[in-house]
Amino acid sequence: MVEVVLARTEALRVCYGRVAALHDVSVTIREGQIVTVVGANGAGKTTLLCALMGLLPHTGRIEFPQWPTAALTVGERIRAGVCLVPETRDLFGTMPVEDNLRLGGFSRRRDKAYSASRTLEEVYTLFPRLKERRRQSANTLSGGERQMLALGRALMAKPKLLMLDEPSLGLAPLVTKEIIAAIAGLRDRNVSILLIEQNARAALAVADYAYVMETGTVTLEGPADAVARDQRVVESYLGARRREDPAVAPAPQDRPAAEERTATTSSIGDRRFAAPVRQGRAGQGSVA
Amino acid sequence: MGPIMDLTIFGFLVQDGLTTGAVYILLAVSLVMVFTVTRIVLVPQGEFVAFATLTLAGLERGDAPGLAWLLVAAGVLAFVMDLSAARRRGSRRGIAAAAVLFLAVPAVLAAVALYGIGASTPLAAKIAVTCAMVVALGPILYRVAFQPMAAASPLYLLIAAIALHFVLVGAGLYLFGPEGVRTSPLLDGSTEVLSMPVSVQTLLILAASLGLNLALFAFFGFTLQGKALRATAVNRRGAELVGVSADYAGQLTFALAAAIGALSGVLIGPVTTIYYDSGFLLGLKGFVGAIIGGLAAYPAAAVGALLVGLLEAFSSFWASAYKEVIVFTLIVPVLLWRSLAHVAVEEDHD
């Protein structure tokens, strides 16, 4: 099988002020794969996605071999088919669900082959709940529906490479399952995925290839099932050894951190990218 | 006490207040639009009004319109900025569009204004050229003054807006001279409403203001571009991630703001004497109206602007020396009320 590389970074380095959030990160995303990046809070996962999307200044290389112009700006990446669903979702809260979705296709508005209404129907088929709620404003949706809307809005742009930042953040386990299943289904529709998850167990179960990040650098990579069996990963992220109560949801030690993170981002709002820095430093302490 | 009020005078004052109020509504709506989309308090909003009136008056007199030179010069500056940004990025993409928007359009409009307008040109054509030049100036000013610092805080943007205002007033004095102008009325004559004589120009202003507001409502409510601007106002990063760039939103918003200003200038020209620096006071009154809506709500801003117009008309009757003072004093109780009633406005967004 010939493997087509969609995105690649080499020696990627991102700094917030003098603090390096990423150093020497090299990852490759191939067509038709779900690639996941697991790691503790503050390992630099969100920073990696923001840098890949062109939202952060960086040194080192970011390449999109299929679309050479995509490396230029955020807008060029979206037009080429690279989309990001951020962990803050960044929905248009006061606007109806359907307007949110239609705006997802904004970058394709001059594209003659693109039909907004047909794509809208596809998204509604994937998430029938959104169709029921299409006249409601996005603010009134539940957490799971908001994530569906964020995914649906990204799918309206017909992405080839979809980057998802913590799609299960703040969701009930059952909803998480539903979302992860939908993501796995996207791979079969020829959408390649870069998935970042706190819930390492769920991410590794669905992914083809995995990277493990710690304090801004990749410490381990390989096929997802091999990574899931790695002793260090089992100990640190899947929590098999130290788990106190095996009946609770996966990776319980991640839970308080995830909640804390939600609180931080919601109070800071959508305006700042500074949030990962502070979390990053706090997170590094807790990992070490 | 001041002069005696009777029903006829009352009627005239209401008419006067509604006329100016209708123009303040347009300015207030424009200020709210620009602020919510770009976080810029558009201090130079009034300059669009003054430039339109002064240019139209110049065309009526047969003078060469100075605005044409300003437009071409600012357009070249904007294009050079785009060119150097493209060189830094290492791509030529977008340069063709910039050349059209910043070079070709201003050049064509300037050529028409300088050489295509004669004594026999109909008024409608002069108005069209005037409005087109002012509208073309909008995105150019955004590109030059605000785009390089679009991510800055509202306070920095406000300071830049004030600086741009002074630059434009200075340019206005140089290009148009210190004399005040009135343009010829678009429609002559008067009619009777409720057994009161009402000039047709007044009715035209009211109708135009209403029509423009409805058009803006339709644009923001039903078109993808309008929704994209609203989306930018609701969530800037979300808009960026669906491909509505801040540059696009800013330039489109400024084109709209300039269009609103230009039409206001055409409407107000026959009823008010406009000087090169009259725009600031007009914009400030629109701002008082917009503040009543918290710089965020359209209907409240419109009602506020209408109130400002009426208050101004009545205070010019009873205490004409203090009419500006009375209007601007309105800001203090309104801000007090808003600061008490809306403590957590900032946190509500998201």
Residue A132 lies in a domain: yes
Write the pLDDT tens digit of every residue in B150-186: 989 999 999 999 999 999 999 999 999 999 999 988 8
Half-sphere exposure of A151 (CA within 13 A, CB side): 30
Whole-angstrom Cα distance, residue B173 to residue B200? 32
The answer to whether A116 and A87 have CB atoms below 8 angstroms apart is no
Which runs of E-coded beta strand occur in A54-179?
Answer: 59-63, 82-85, 161-165
In this structure, how many other beta carbons lie within 10 angstroms of the beta carbon of residue A140? Answer: 12
Identity of the amino acid at A197: E
Q: What is the pLDDT of residue A69?
A: 79
Residues A31 and A154 in one domain: no
Which of A99, A129, A158 marks a domain boundary? A158
Percent of chain B residues past pLDDT 90, beyond the cut: 69
E strand or H helix at B242, and its extent? Answer: none
Q: Which residues contact B243 (CB under 8 A, 6 or more apart)?
A: A74, A75, A78, A79, A106, A107, A157
Q: What is the pLDDT of residue A91?
A: 96
Whole-angstrom Cα distance, residue B269 to residue B265? 6
Write the pLDDT tens digit of every residue in B20-30: 999 999 999 99
Closest residue in B to A268 (Cα) is B347
Whole-angstrom Cα distance, residue A194 to residue B295? 40
Residues A167 and A259 in one domain: yes
Q: What is the pLDDT of residue A70?
A: 75
In this structure, how many other beta carbons lie within 10 angstroms of the beta carbon of residue A220? Answer: 16
Which of A104, A137, A158 marks a domain boundary? A158
Residue A86 lies in a domain: no
The answer to whether B229 and B220 have CB atoms below 8 angstroms apart is yes
Residue A229 lies in a domain: yes
Domain that holds residue B164: 7-348
**Stretch B124-148: mean pLDDT:** 96
Which of A141, A158, A175 marks a domain boundary? A158
Report the candidate in A17, A51, A57, A86 with the shortest Cα–Cα distance to residue A213. A51
Q: Do A103 and B89 touch (CB under 8 A)?
A: no
Write the pLDDT tens digit of every residue in B276-334: 999 999 999 999 988 887 777 788 889 999 999 999 999 988 888 888 888 888 888 88
Residues A61 and A185 in one domain: yes
Residue B254 lies in a domain: yes
Residues A165 and A230 in one domain: yes
DSSP state of A271: S
Q: How buried is A9 (Cβ within 10 angstroms: 0-12 exposed, 13-18 middle, 19+ buried)?
A: buried
Closest residue in B to A272 (Cα) is B237
Residue B2 lies in a domain: no
Q: Band the pLDDT of B342: cuts 50, 70, 90.
A: low
Domain that holds residue A250: 5-81+161-287
The answer to whether B349 and B32 have CB atoms below 8 angstroms apart is no
Report the number of distinct structural domains present in chain A: 2
Residues A73 and A204 in one domain: yes
Q: What is the CATH number of the domain that holds A175?
A: 3.40.50.300
Residue A95 lies in a domain: yes
What residues pair up with A63 in beta bridges, in sequence order?
Answer: A8
Cβ under 8 Å to B: A residues 107-136: 107, 109
**Which among A270, A272, A273 is the top mutation candidate for probing chain B, defined by the most B β-carbons within 10 Å of its own β-carbon?**
A270
Q: How buried is A124 (Cβ within 10 angstroms: 0-12 exposed, 13-18 middle, 19+ buried)?
A: middle
CA distance B308 to chain A (A): 29
Residues A193 and A242 in one domain: yes
Report the candidate in A52, A19, A17 with the shortest Cα–Cα distance to residue A211. A52
Is the Cβ of B241 closer than 8 Å to some Cβ of chain A? Answer: yes
Mean pLDDT across chain B, nearest whole number?
A: 90
Residues A102 and A181 in one domain: no
What residues pair up with B198 in beta bridges, in sequence order?
Answer: B191
Report the candidate in A107, A105, A135 with the shortest Cα–Cα distance to residue A122. A105
Residues A114 and A74 in one domain: no
Whole-angstrom Cα distance, residue B12 to residue B18? 10
Residues A96 and A69 in one domain: no
Q: What is the pLDDT of residue A157?
A: 95
Through-space distance between the first and last CA atoms of chain A, rounded to whole angstroms: 40
Q: What is the pLDDT of residue B2?
A: 58
Residues A252 and A147 in one domain: no
Q: What is the pLDDT of residue A240?
A: 56
Q: What is the pLDDT of residue A2?
A: 67
Q: Do A90 and B241 touch (CB under 8 A)?
A: yes
Q: Are strands A59-63 and A5-16 parallel, antiparallel or unpaired?
A: antiparallel
The answer to whether A138 and A104 have CB atoms below 8 angstroms apart is no
Write the pLDDT tens digit of every residue in B231-250: 999 999 999 999 999 999 99
E strand or H helix at A69, and its extent? Answer: none
Q: Do A270 and B241 touch (CB under 8 A)?
A: no
Q: How buried is B172 (Cβ within 10 angstroms: 0-12 exposed, 13-18 middle, 19+ buried)?
A: buried
Write the pLDDT tens digit of every residue in B252-273: 999 999 999 999 999 999 989 9
DSSP state of A43: S
Residues A169 and A273 in one domain: yes
Residue in A103, A154, A156 closest to B227 by CB: A103
Is the Cβ of A103 closer than 8 Å to some Cβ of chain B? Answer: yes
Q: What is the pLDDT of residue B296?
A: 77
Report the number of distinct structural domains present in chain B: 1
Whole-angstrom Cα distance, residue B47 to residue B172? 8
Whole-angstrom Cα distance, residue B283 to residue B29? 11
- Digit-by-digit pLDDT tens for chain A (288 residues) are 568 999 999 999 999 888 889 999 999 999 999 999 998 888 899 999 999 999 998 999 999 999 987 777 899 899 999 999 999 999 999 999 999 999 999 999 999 999 999 999 999 999 999 999 999 999 999 999 999 999 999 999 999 999 999 998 888 888 898 899 999 999 888 899 999 988 888 899 999 999 999 999 999 999 999 999 988 888 888 875 444 444 444 444 443 333 333 333 333 333 333 333 333 333 333 333
Q: What is the pLDDT of residue B346?
A: 46
Residue in A94, A106, A271 closest to B236 by CB: A271
Residues A107 and A194 in one domain: no
